[in-house]
Amino acid sequence: MEISEIKARLTLAQVLHYYHLKPDKQLRLCCPFHDDKTPSMQIYYKTHTAYCFSANCPTHGKSLDVIDFIMWMEQTSRGIAGNKEGCTKHEAILKAGQMITEQHSVGAARNQKPTTELPRIAVLTKIFTYFKNGVHNSKPAQEYLQQRGLDYNKTEVGYNSGQFHHGERKDAYLIESCVQYGLLLDLEAKSRTGNPAYKPFGKWCIVFALRNAQNQIVGLYFRSTLDDKHQRHFYLKDRQGLYPKYPSKETKRLILTESIIDAATLLEQEKIKDSYEILSLYGTNGLTEEHNKAITEITALEEIIFFLNGDQAGTKAVEKYAPMLKADYPNVIISNVQVPENEDVNSLLHGHSPDILTHLIETRKEYSFLFSTESVSQRNEEIELPQEAKPTGEPKEEAQTTGLDTNNPYNLKYRGNEANYQIKGFNTGQLDSLKITLQITAK
Ligand SMILES: [Zn+2]
């Protein structure tokens, strides 16, 4: 490649990205060619040149173009800065040509602002496509999925063999973005080839996509295929998105599962998929703000069905979340699938026909928020409840005038002078259950 062609096609920004050098806002850089504590090197994107102002620098007095820059970088990385034996100009030109051909999307990259990473959605979508192809090429991934009873022809799932930043896929912009979004961890060390070394996040995991309200991929969930009890579940940093997607607004019956694999398992059962919308929590503590927001958007909702694990954690999660949901959706039925002890959605598939899942869902029980009348009356003797706070099915008029609104016993509202208060999840017939949400909104 001619020097003029290289200069026309390779920007200084691309070269800096390639070497993982990030200028600051004033486009200054700690000079990579001498021991620089303060940023002495100025970057000029207009002319695609760099200049080091330090008198201690072997490049001092020289304006460096992209080829000079590469030459100095290669020499420095070999520990012999300024030594032509380290990297000649000719070698630098070859290296520059290589950088150009390695850029997958030179055109797209050049239109970007130099220091802007690719958008999260674009990067995750691209990488997830790569992971999906990975399943077709990986025996361990296929074996793991088969063992979990999942069919990768039905379920959108990927596999991370940890190779996505190698070989032809190497692209400075993509790698930088992968570091930014947590797909690659920068080890801040050089590999044998002199290039920076990275550790892929969630290696040897099967991967599921988490989506936003527009059904775009904004997060990834990794489930280890190795049998490590302590490290199974990994979410990308800045966790966001829901699995399999935001429920449609027309959803009538919504099943909440404890894990993404459980949700995927249910979704593979046509009968269940046709009759219910499925949404995965992020574990027993994982009914997040985003889940709440998505559920709020459902206009036709009639019932929320918990299908969590048949263990203590699963039971506790239902006890915690059922009243909270009831507080927000008093007209929605909250029900619970009776899961046999120590089983979960996915484990039930082993040794049973998939019909057991349908059967369990069909025989679900409505969640009971009330204690027996006896225990309620005993409590009322011990603690004198103000008249307004007693549970009642009838709307009370005075509640509106006093500022305390107990019409919904699961969501007590109080209008104060300075702020409005809502106590959610608290039922006056259930005084020993004090896991509540207190929402204070300033007026
Ligand atoms: Zn310097």
Q: Tell me: do 266 and 184 sit in the same domain.
A: no
Q: Tell me: do 191 and 91 sit in the same domain.
A: no
User: Tell me: the pLDDT tens digits for 329-342?
Assistant: 999 999 999 999 99
Does residue 43 fall inside a structural domain?
Answer: yes
Q: Tell me: do 394 and 348 sit in the same domain.
A: no
* Cα 176 to averaged position of ligand 1 atoms, centre (Å): 24
Burial bucket for residue 14 (CB in 10 Å: 0-12, 13-18, 19+): buried
Q: Tell me: do 184 and 205 sit in the same domain.
A: yes
* Cα 23 to averaged position of ligand 1 atoms, centre (Å): 14
Q: Are 226 and 204 contacting, i.e. CB atoms less than 8 angstroms apart?
A: yes
Does residue 196 fall inside a structural domain?
Answer: yes
Does residue 374 fall inside a structural domain?
Answer: no
* Cα 54 to averaged position of ligand 1 atoms, centre (Å): 6
* Cα 192 to averaged position of ligand 1 atoms, centre (Å): 25
* Cα 411 to averaged position of ligand 1 atoms, centre (Å): 65
Q: Using alpha carbons, list the distances in angstroms from residue 262 to 140, 150, 170, 205, 266.
A: 20, 10, 35, 16, 6
State how many domains the chain has.
Answer: 4
Q: Residue 262 is encoded by which pair of tokens?
A: 């459980």
CA dist 195 and 209 (Å) reads 30
Q: Tell me: do 128 and 211 sit in the same domain.
A: yes
Q: What is the mean pLDDT of the chain?
A: 82
Does residue 56 fall inside a structural domain?
Answer: yes
Percent of the chain having pLDDT more than 90?
A: 48
Among 98, 90, 67, 74, residue whose Cα is nearest residue 195: 74
User: Tell me: the pLDDT tens digits for 342-390?
Assistant: 999 999 988 788 999 999 999 999 998 764 333 333 444 444 444 444 4
Q: What's the longest Cα–Cα distance across the chain?
A: 93
What DSSP designation does 430 have?
-
| Strand boundaries in 45-99, DSSP class E | 49-52, 63-64
* Cα 116 to averaged position of ligand 1 atoms, centre (Å): 25
Does residue 247 fall inside a structural domain?
Answer: no
Q: Tell me: do 218 and 263 sit in the same domain.
A: no
Among candidate residues 85, 111, 137, the one where a domain is terminated: 111
CATH number at residue 193: 3.90.980.10
Does residue 347 fall inside a structural domain?
Answer: yes
Does residue 241 fall inside a structural domain?
Answer: no
Q: Tell me: do 230 and 297 sit in the same domain.
A: no
* Cα 73 to averaged position of ligand 1 atoms, centre (Å): 11
* Cα 59 to averaged position of ligand 1 atoms, centre (Å): 6
Q: Tell me: do 358 and 384 sit in the same domain.
A: no
CA dist 58 and 181 (Å) reads 36
Q: Tell me: do 17 and 44 sit in the same domain.
A: yes
Residues with CB under 5 A from ligand 1 (ion): 31, 33-34, 52, 54, 57
Among 55, 59, 61, residue whose Cα is nearest residue 71: 59
CATH number at residue 14: 3.90.580.10
CA dist 141 and 133 (Å) reads 11
Sorting pLDDT into bands at 50, 70 and 90, what band is 121?
confident
Among candidate residues 336, 366, 396, the one where a domain is terminated: 366
Among candidate residues 235, 268, 299, the one where a domain is terminated: 235
Place of tokens 């979990």: 148
* Cα 407 to averaged position of ligand 1 atoms, centre (Å): 72
* Cα 29 to averaged position of ligand 1 atoms, centre (Å): 9
* Cα 50 to averaged position of ligand 1 atoms, centre (Å): 10
* Cα 190 to averaged position of ligand 1 atoms, centre (Å): 20
* Cα 43 to averaged position of ligand 1 atoms, centre (Å): 12
At a CB cut-off of 8 Å and minimum separation 6, what does 93 contact?
Answer: 1, 3, 6, 67
Q: Using alpha carbons, list the distances in angstroms from residue 336 to 238, 272, 367, 390.
A: 31, 16, 6, 27
89: pLDDT strictly greater than 80: yes
What DSSP designation does 118 have?
P
Q: Tell me: do 81 and 164 sit in the same domain.
A: no
User: Tell me: the pLDDT tens digits for 18-58?
Assistant: 888 999 888 899 999 988 888 899 998 888 999 988 888 88
116: pLDDT strictly greater than 80: no
Does residue 371 fall inside a structural domain?
Answer: no
Question: Do you know the residue count of the chain?
Answer: 443
Can you give the residue range of the structural domain that contains 419?
A: 380-442
Q: Tell me: do 124 and 231 sit in the same domain.
A: yes
Residue 152: helix, strand or coil by DSSP? coil
Q: Tell me: do 63 and 45 sit in the same domain.
A: yes
CA dist 208 and 223 (Å) reads 8
